[in-house]
Amino acid sequence: MKPYSKFTFLSATSTAEESRVVITGFPYELTTSIPGTVLAPNKIREASWLIESYSPYQKKNLESIPISDLANLPLSPLEKEEEILSRVENHMLPLLNMRKKIITIGGDHSITYFVVKNLPAGIRILHLDAHLDSRNSWKGSLLNHATVMRRLKESGREIIPVGIRSVAVEEKEISFFPMEKKLPLKEEDKVYLSIDMDVFDPSIAPAVSNPEPGGIYFPEFLKWLNRLPPFELIGFDIVELNPLLEGAHITSVLGATVIREIILKFWSGKEAST
């Protein structure tokens, strides 16, 4: 499997076949409050060149893990939902069949729908966000960044929302977990993690499409990550970063660092060879 370009994330120098972890950019923007998230995959890659592969928090090095970056999967909002699902399936299934761990860099939050719809049944969705993304519709659309979790729940997926601090009236009966609360997850669970960058406070992540005051800070995220049980993380995505809203690599460096820390938390050491 060849990459779509040579634009890569940090130490992702392995081929897809020899890698443990595979990164793909989904520069897809269906409907969003402020356009620009299509630029995020390459912006985060560029920002990753400004950080070290070594994490002083976990005392681990990304260079010890074979990682491949397949660059960006070209997707168009002009395509029908079934066409996008098919294209994502054709991209993902060979990787899943090779037992690769997948990282997807968006794009708006609707990309999570296309990724998760192609995952095996029984995988629990851990949703880190400022918003529930569980409206029935938004601006006349049934599938978008504000409805994605509702559509996934309707398809039979279990959603575990964390960090929420903005709720629409129609979502007010939906339960969610504060960052400090223990989550109903066990070591034997298989989990997919979806991170909307607006879960972070706008003071450290200003370049997001829907900023909300009162978000978390990076040390809080690290503590939360460290408290997670060692479940099997199938993959994760980073979404809703909007490079048009920042002049410097502030939010994008944060996004790149979050990717580094999650990889090292779940896919380093002995478990990386299983």
**What CATH code is carried by the domain that includes residue 65?**
3.40.800.10
User: Does the structure show a pLDDT above 90 at 121?
Assistant: yes
The yes-or-no verdict on residue 27 having pLDDT over 50 is yes
Would you say residue 7 lies in a domain?
Answer: no
Mean pLDDT, rounded, of the chain: 93
Q: What is the pTM of this model?
A: 0.94
Question: How confident is the model at residue 5, as a pLDDT?
Answer: 47
Q: For the segment 73-109, what is each residue's pLDDT rounded down to a tens digit?
A: 988 888 888 999 999 999 999 999 999 999 999 999 9
Residue 4 belongs to some domain of the structure: no
What pLDDT is stored for residue 11 in this prediction? 87
What is the number of domains present in the chain?
1
Convert the pLDDT of each residue in 195-217 to its tens digit.
999 999 999 999 999 999 999 99
Residue numbers of the domain that contains 142: 21-273
Residue 248 has pLDDT above 90, yes or no: no
Q: What is the pLDDT of residue 33?
A: 72
Decide: 102 and 95 in contact? Cβ < 8 Å: yes
Judge whether residue 1 has pLDDT over 80: no
Percentage above 70 pLDDT, the chain: 96
pLDDT score of 271: 45
User: Is 81 inside a domain boundary?
Assistant: yes
| Residue 6 in domain | no
In a domain? residue 210: yes
Dihedrals phi, psi of 152, to nearest 5 degrees: -70, -40
